[in-house]
Structure 1
Amino acid sequence: MSESQTTVATICQTLSENIAAGLYAAERRLPSERALSEQFSTTRITLRESLGQLEAQGLIYREVRRGWFISPPRLLYNPLQRSHFQAMAKDQGRLARTELIDACQMLASDGICQKLNLPAQSAVYRIRRLRYIDGRAVLYVEHYLNPQFFPAIIDADLTQSLTDLYFSRYGIKYGKVRFDMVPTRLPEEASSALKVAAGSPALFITRINRDLKDRIIDCDLEYWRYDALHIDVEVG
């Protein structure tokens, strides 16, 4: 093992032990890169390699222009359960919050039209939201809705659960759902909203929802921070 690799291993082990011991628990963040470089008598390049390894393990995460933070516990997520975001977080003792980025009516791309089973160049509602767990932004999501089922919905309070809003305002409940989950890199819109570097790893979930009459009503494009989610599925 080279001297550089030995230093990286030492830094990773030391910081992992410090995190486990709760040394940084008060502010949930690591000292600055300069301070860490001085502490370990190493270069920024070697330090960042060490931090990158800890980030890959999900122990820490970086926010652009803010520094390195201790990763909170991952949110358990079972796609077979129809619990909405706020309820899922509450059931796990976590605090959820939703921030509306924007909402508009627009001509959908060919891909979105296909997902919604609409003719090409159809108008849809697009709702973009940022979702937080315990004060940390973990999910950037774009919702595409068929306006036929949700007239004027973009005038409603869209920080609330869409599941609840669909039923209370339009009498619509979810039925079948189709999921597609793949690892990916964050596009610029998502990385900017989540305050992470463009191209950071993420879990991309596409969800196509039907109502109880088996009509496709909306689709969601979800970009999750890769270290925020734990997929947990039990099939009977």
Structure 2
Amino acid sequence: MSINNASFIYHTLSEQIRSGRLTHQLPAERRLSELFNTTRITLRDALMQLEHQGLIYRENRRGWFVSPSRIHYNPLLNFNFNRMVSSQGRTPSTQVLSSDIIPANAQVSRWLAITEGQPVIQIRRARRIDNRLVLYAEHYLNPAYFPHILQFDFTQSLSEIYQQHYGLTYGKVRFDMQSTALSQSVANVLKMSEGSPALQIVRSNQDQHGRLIDCDYELWRHDALSVCVDV
């Protein structure tokens, strides 16, 4: 019964989402179990299939929601987050989690081609699209190029701060992308469950003079964006 019933629930809810009859929040799991006359275990199987397809998403202690359309992400276009999201008719927002000077660990030292333990500026941010948490980001800056930068408002675009106050623009950029699973700490920030799928993007950035000035470590909800490249 579980396999067939879960499949029926999946196809029923999928059709309602695709047709626009189900547009925002799903009924509570108890109510859905009653509507489909099934167990919570079978219902969860169907909901997880929908989640893996990117049709719905879950927020801890809030329930299940219909996923909005994905943002198109083209790594060949040097758009910052705010500009990329706004250009697609959506509303970006940023929450600064922390900003400080810390010693570079082994991974960050490789990204920035510096000595392990050397001071770096770390900025941690959570970013939203249409008020939905979609991105956790850590930025690591070489402080030699950004004196007194901690005084700025980091809800703004970092690239715009670089250009307006330091005369620096991005030149060559290296992208590394891979699928991953969220750690407990990042899952808590994004209001997701530990182990949820995510897209990891590491971006190392040179300025217009060819100097490696910063790197970004990003973890995106797997259903928040699609990578599109025009060659």
Q: Distance in 2 between matches of 1:21 and 1:178?
A: 40
- Residues 160-204 of structure 1: CA distance to partner in whole angstroms, max 9, x if unpaired? 000100011111111000000000001222211100001100000
Report what 1:74 is aligned to. Answer: 70
Give the 4+ runs in structure 1 shifted more than 6 A: none
Alignment map for 1:144-163 (pairs within 5 Å): 144-163=140-159
Report what 1:14 is aligned to. Answer: 12
Q: Distance in 1 between matches of 2:16 and 2:199?
A: 28
Report what 2:39 is aligned to. Answer: 43
Residue identity matched to 1:113: S
RMSD: 0.8
Residue identity matched to 1:171: G
What is the Cα deviation at residue 21 of structure 1? 3.0
Instruction: State the identity %.
Output: 50
Q: Which deviates more from structure 2 when the two are superposed, residues 11-20 or residues 163-172? A: 11-20
Q: Distance in 2 between matches of 1:189 and 1:168?
A: 33
Alignment map for 1:25-174 (pairs within 5 Å): 25=23, 28-174=24-170
What is the Cα deviation at residue 151 of structure 1? 1.1
Report what 1:193 is aligned to. Answer: 189
What is the Cα deviation at residue 22 of structure 1? 2.4
Report what 2:213 is aligned to. Answer: 217
What is the Cα deviation at residue 100 of structure 1? 0.5
What is the Cα deviation at residue 156 of structure 1? 0.5
5+ residue gaps, structure 1: none
Q: Distance in 2 between matches of 1:54 and 1:212?
A: 44
Q: Distance in 1 between matches of 2:82 and 2:219?
A: 17
What is the Cα deviation at residue 119 of structure 1? 1.3
Residue identity matched to 2:11: Q
- Residues 44-94 of structure 1: CA distance to partner in whole angstroms, max 9, x if unpaired? 000000000000110000011110000000000000110111111111111
Q: Distance in 1 between matches of 2:19 and 2:199?
A: 29
Q: Distance in 1 between matches of 2:142 and 2:185?
A: 23
Residue identity matched to 1:197: S
Q: Secondary structure of 1:111's match?
A: helix
Q: Distance in 1 between matches of 2:147 and 2:182?
A: 31
What is the Cα deviation at residue 17 of structure 1? 1.7
Residue identity matched to 1:76: H
What is the Cα deviation at residue 24 of structure 1? 3.0
Q: Secondary structure of 2:144's match?
A: coil
Query: TM-score scaled to structure 1, two decimals?
Result: 0.96
Corresponding pairs, count: 231
Q: Distance in 2 between matches of 1:73 and 1:147?
A: 38
Q: Distance in 1 between matches of 2:130 and 2:14?
A: 22
Q: Distance in 2 between matches of 1:4 and 1:114?
A: 49
Q: Distance in 1 between matches of 2:185 and 2:177?
A: 19
Q: Distance in 1 between matches of 2:210 and 2:145?
A: 13
What is the Cα deviation at residue 220 of structure 1? 0.4
What is the Cα deviation at residue 114 of structure 1? 1.6
